[in-house]
Structure 1
Amino acid sequence: MEPLVELPISKWPALQEKLKRLWPLNVAGYYALYLNLNYPGVREAFQFKVYCPYGDMDNGFVSINVKNDSQDCILFSTTQDTSKLQEALVNTKLIDWRKKVCVDLVSSLILKALENIRPRVMFSCYDVGLVMTYFLDRKTKPFDDVEYPPGTYLAPVKQHHIERIDSVWPYRYSGSKFYFSTLSSNGLSYGLFSKSDELMAWLFLNEYNFLLHLYCEEGYRRKGYAEYVMKYVVNEQLKAGNDVYAYVVEGNDKPRRLFEKLGFVDVDKGAYIYVQK
């Protein structure tokens, strides 16, 4: 019998409440459910589905989504005991470990669980990228110094900008233009434009509701544009009653300094992992 049982969308809010038992460790799992509840276009485009080990939310959840015919997974536990989650991952047929799978949003707790099942699944590929999880509590006071830089305006990026946005993303892949196009068409992009409509800086919220791909074009740097866009998006999230979070690859000091300047706190050492049997 398949150990991963699909959880109906109607039960996702109850699962969100259980994720709060480990907070803010589970912030990414909570907001992955939040965004896919509220943005059905994103959910459908990436075929986002949620499964609980043995049909029990107390065992945590596994989400599988499809991007460009490849599988991405996220894994979360609602308690410190990940044994049922581990058993389900070893025995599931829903995840084809023979193909390369990206396990994203890996918390320190889940990293230990994956290390435990590694010899049982017999991964031949196990590439780990270490990241820091930066978190800003929803009770934080919004920034009060957010004003448009002179001669600029903020608007969603347009589809003809996607190729440029994708070209400077360090993690681009064969389907990443579709990825950014989907986020943009669902209202999850923020672009800073000159009065002549030139895109100067941008930031996205991704399918898990974290801050993604903050970038400023070289000719417009050192003017505070990237920080302005960041503050605007953070304020929008805080005013909606949301916590805000992001990931920074270990050793990437420039974004780390910006997050710390804006009051974010490093709450966990996690990872993204590419695995294959």
Structure 2
Amino acid sequence: MADKLVDIPIQDLTSLRDLYREDWPKYNIGYGTVDTYVRWLNKDPNIPHIRILSLNGDWSDGTFIITDWISLYANTRSTDFTRLVKALSLVDWSKGYTIASIGSRLLDLIYKFVKENNVDVNYIKGTKWFRMPQDEAAKLIVNPPDGITLRPLTAEDVVTANALWPFRRPGSLIYLQRLAKYNVSVGAFTSDGELVAWCFRIPVGSLGTLQVAESHKRKGFGSLIVRAMAKAIGETGYDVFAPVVFDNYPSLNMFEKLGFKVVDTMNWLPPAKPGNWHDNVPHY
């Protein structure tokens, strides 16, 4: 019988996620990714453009592929990557997915796969993968300066964030609007309503797309937003993770000063040619 990708039933996702809880935080990337979709699909089981797939209906070793709009996530608990490679080989790569949230454990495998299978990707700078335990994150102090208000991002705020995002691409607006709709997010706003700093919680479960408007850099807004996001996540019982680009020394120093510790590396591989994604889909 030919290999095939099979949708994992929603009711099985919690068990799949919990396979990655063992030996915490060794498999935190797989845990955080599946946990995101457990939370999202519990809120709305009909979110479009999400598929959570196993090879031939068997996920007992933790092997999964998730396609979510413009992004693809893949992981396994197995030390033998044969089944994961088979699953990856069944993906329609012509769609132009970004291979997202690749930890060091699978990085060589993914690099080898895209090369051998002629998956055309851009090799961008990797990141250090920081962690703060949830009890430490919950104790962080968040004191916005006078004239600054912190609140979750709306769909309208996300339009601004996407326009200024260095990694924006076709389909990225819907990607960010989905994050704002289903995950915690924080924006810093001036008294006249200007959005000057923001951060999302991305599908791997970590902080992501942290950005400060050029006009408000070097004023402590990055640290403020990180503390606010980390505290919000920590108070819900989750450890807090964050990717920071290897040579972004100001951000690296900021996370270290806040008490984060490096536990891994994290990489993304965007397609060399963007897929046929667009931002005028009526639902996200």
Per the shorter chain, which TM-score range? Answer: 0.7 to 0.9
Whole-Å Cα distance in 1 between the matches of residues 5 and 193 of structure 2?
48
1:195-236, Cα deviation, whole Å (9 max, x unpaired): 332222211112332212222223333332221121111111
| Runs of 5+ consecutive residues of structure 1 not aligned to the other structure | none
Measured after TM superposition, the shift of residue 137 of structure 1 is: 2.1
How many residue pairs match? The answer is 269
Whole-Å Cα distance in 1 between the matches of residues 111 and 250 of structure 2?
30
Alignment match, 2:185: 189
TM-score normalised per structure 1: 0.85
Alignment match, 1:33: 34
Alignment match, 1:58: 61
Alignment match, 1:216: 212
Aligned CA-pair RMSD:
2.6
Q: Give secondary structure in 2 for the equivalent of 1:171.
A: coil
Alignment match, 1:73: 72
Q: Is the 8 A contact 1:52 1:62 kept in 2?
A: yes
Measured after TM superposition, the shift of residue 104 of structure 1 is: 0.7
**Change in CA separation of 1:207 and 1:270 when aligned onto 2, cut-off 3 Å:** closer
Aligned pair partner of 2:123 in 124, 128, 137? 128
1:229 and 2:231 matched:
no
Whole-Å Cα distance in 2 between the matches of residues 152 and 112 of structure 1?
44
Whole-Å Cα distance in 2 between the matches of residues 19 and 187 of structure 1?
21
Measured after TM superposition, the shift of residue 172 of structure 1 is: 0.4
**Change in CA separation of 1:16 and 1:221 when aligned onto 2, cut-off 3 Å:** same
Aligned pair partner of 1:145 in 141, 146, 149? 141
1:6 and 2:2 matched:
no
Measured after TM superposition, the shift of residue 25 of structure 1 is: 4.1
| One-letter amino acid matched to 1:47 | H
Whole-Å Cα distance in 2 between the matches of residues 20 and 221 of structure 1?
38
Q: Is the 8 A contact 2:19 2:62 kept in 1?
A: no
Q: Give secondary structure in 2 for the equivalent of 1:51.
A: strand
Whole-Å Cα distance in 2 between the matches of residues 43 and 188 of structure 1?
19
Q: Give secondary structure in 1 for the equivalent of 2:219.
A: coil
Alignment match, 2:200: 204
TM-score normalised per structure 2: 0.83
Measured after TM superposition, the shift of residue 28 of structure 1 is: 2.5
**Change in CA separation of 1:42 and 1:22 when aligned onto 2, cut-off 3 Å:** farther
Measured after TM superposition, the shift of residue 182 of structure 1 is: 2.6
| Runs of 5+ consecutive residues of structure 2 not aligned to the other structure | 273-284
Whole-Å Cα distance in 2 between the matches of residues 46 and 254 of structure 1?
38
- The percentage of counterpart residues that share the same residue type is 23
Q: Is the 8 A contact 1:80 1:109 kept in 2?
A: no
